[in-house]
């Protein structure tokens, strides 16, 4: 039986550590401040942002949600960011993606003070990560490393294969694994004979955003699978391809008309030595690492 790497448990552990740091900072008169900017009403973003704000409040941060309208311009968004850069009580600035088409997302991310860039998306932080220097690292990839370390999965010397090369997950995940001395391969849509590459993985990170893309024959028996995907399945046919005969998922599908599936086909987990479930895996770590990054930013900005 493959071991389930429980995101709930690990996220709770990290949040407890962050809470202890918040207490320690409070004794020095410092309260970490996080501002989350959410444009318009993308349903998934609404849920993510609510969770981010709620968690930061629970941990005792100064927490702010800023909600410009769907019609906002790049110039107006730049004004919002500049104002947050200038406010000393704000340690972390997060602009929830995706943004509407008329907004130049890159210009915004570049405008965030790198010291407050708790998403780790600014080119300065990406460069620091690449150079192996201390940096605010993107939250989801940082969560992947925390899961591996806290579950006792050896990274140094392991063959790590990352499927997906996004700036937000795939690329930084590969760099973090490399910084931990894994032998890293990055795969993408043009990779030839993908299965041959993934079958060499001791650690397989799936971050392509396609439901159930990693199938059992692509996995080395005993490998550790980290499934970063969060895909909503609404079609019966697709549901059956992943969960036929699974009573719990069947009930959920009947009730809500959809279920969430990762980038890994559930049958592939049976071959693994350990894996992160979806939901209940990496997703929870993203928020925990955002909290950790915000405390780190609060400390660094004050030279603590
Ligand atoms: N949208 C989906 N994931 C993320 C994330 O980690 N950060 C931001 N800012 N937006 C997202």
pLDDT band at residue 13 using 50, 70 and 90 as cut-offs? very high
The Cα 1–Cα 216 span in angstroms is: 15
Nearest CA to ligand 1 atom 11: 97
Give the ligand 1 atom nearest the CA of 97: 10
- Residue 287 CA to ligand 1 centre (angstroms): 10
Report yes or no: 188 and 165 within 8 Å, Cβ to Cβ. yes
Angle at 164 between CA 56 and CA 230, to 5 degrees: 45
Domain boundaries, the chain: 29-116, 139-285
Provide the pLDDT for residue 150: 98
Segment 137-157, tens digit of pLDDT: 999 999 999 999 999 999 999
Provide the pLDDT for residue 269: 97
- Determine if the peptide bond prior to 98 is cis (ω within 30°): yes
Give the ligand 1 atom nearest the CA of 140: 6
Phi, psi of 135 (to 5 degrees): -150, 160
Beta bridge partner(s), residue 302 = none
- Report the DSSP pairing between strands 159-163 and 203-206: parallel
Domains 29-116 and 139-285 fall in the same CATH topology = yes
Pocket mutation for ligand 1, best pick of 81, 119, 284 (most atoms within 8 Å of C-beta)? 119
Segment 155-168, tens digit of pLDDT: 999 999 999 999 99
- Residue 107 CA to ligand 1 centre (angstroms): 16
- Residue 149 CA to ligand 1 centre (angstroms): 23
pLDDT band at residue 223 using 50, 70 and 90 as cut-offs? very high
- Report the DSSP pairing between strands 259-261 and 231-233: antiparallel
- Whole-angstrom distance between the N-terminal and C-terminal Cα of the chain? 45
Report yes or no: 111 and 253 within 8 Å, Cβ to Cβ. no
Q: In what order do the strands lie in the sheet with 159-163?
A: 3-4, 274-275, 224-227, 203-206, 159-163, 183-187
What string of DSSP letters covers 283-299?
Answer: HHHHHHHHHHHHHHHHH
**Average pLDDT taken over every residue of the chain:** 97
Segment 67-124, tens digit of pLDDT: 999 999 999 999 999 999 999 999 999 999 999 999 999 999 999 999 999 999 999 9
Angle at 264 between CA 263 and CA 266, to 5 degrees: 135
Nearest CA to ligand 1 atom 9: 96
Residue 208 structure tokens: 């392509």
Tell me the mean pLDDT in the region 187-209: 98
CATH topology (fold) of 139-285: Rossmann fold (3.40.50)
Provide the pLDDT for residue 247: 96
Tell me the mean pLDDT in the region 34-61: 96
- Residue 229 CA to ligand 1 centre (angstroms): 13
Provide the pLDDT for residue 96: 97
Provide the pLDDT for residue 113: 98
Nearest CA to ligand 1 atom 7: 96
Nearest CA to ligand 1 atom 8: 96
Active site (catalytic) residues: 52, 96, 119
The Cα 244–Cα 237 span in angstroms is: 10
CATH topology (fold) of 29-116: Rossmann fold (3.40.50)
Give the ligand 1 atom nearest the CA of 290: 6
The Cα 69–Cα 288 span in angstroms is: 28
Segment 243-299, tens digit of pLDDT: 999 999 999 999 999 999 999 999 999 999 999 999 999 999 999 999 999 999 999
Angle at 174 between CA 131 and CA 15, to 5 degrees: 90
Provide the pLDDT for residue 184: 98
The Cα 215–Cα 218 span in angstroms is: 6
- Written in H, E and C, the secondary structure of 141-158 is HHHHHHHHHHCCCCCCCC
Residue 140 CB partners (closer than 8 Å, separation 6+): 168, 169, 173, 228, 282, 285, 286, 289
Residue 110 CB partners (closer than 8 Å, separation 6+): 122, 123
């Amino acid at each position: 039986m493959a071991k389930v790497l429980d995101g709930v448990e690990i996220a709770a552990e990290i949040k407890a550590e962050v809470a202890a740091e918040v207490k320690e900072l409070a004794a020095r008169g410092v309260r970490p401040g996080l501002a989350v900017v959410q444009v318009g009403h993308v349903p998934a973003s609404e849920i993510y942002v609510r969770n981010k704000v709620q968690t930061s409040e629970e941990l005792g941060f100064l927490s702010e949600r800023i909600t410009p309208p769907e019609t906002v311009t790049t110039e107006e968004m730049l004004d919002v960011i500049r104002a947050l850069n200038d406010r000393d009580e704000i340690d972390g600035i997060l602009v929830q993606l995706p943004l509407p088409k008329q907004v130049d997302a890159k210009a915004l991310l570049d405008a965030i003070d790198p010291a407050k860039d708790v998403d780790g998306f600014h080119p300065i932080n990406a460069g620091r990560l690449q150079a192996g220097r201390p940096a605010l690292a993107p939250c989801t990839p940082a969560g992947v490393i925390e899961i591996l370390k806290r579950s006792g999965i050896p990274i140094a010397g392991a063959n790590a294969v990352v499927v997906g090369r996004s700036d937000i997950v795939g690329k930084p995940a590969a760099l973090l694994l490399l910084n931990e001395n894994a032998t890293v391969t990055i795969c993408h849509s043009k990779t030839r004979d993908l299965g041959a590459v993934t079958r060499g993985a001791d650690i397989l990170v799936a971050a392509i955003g396609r439901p159930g893309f990693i199938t059992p024959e692509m996995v080395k028996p005993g490998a550790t699978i980290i499934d970063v995907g969060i895909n909503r399945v609404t079609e019966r046919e697709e549901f059956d391809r992943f969960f036929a005969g699974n009573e719990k998922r069947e009930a959920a599908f009947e009730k809500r008309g959809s279920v969430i599936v990762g980038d890994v086909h559930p049958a592939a987990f049976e071959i693994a030595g350990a894996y992160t479930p979806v939901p209940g895996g990496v997703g929870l770590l993203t928020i925990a690492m955002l909290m950790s990054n915000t405390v780190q930013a609060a400390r660094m900005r004050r030279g603590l």
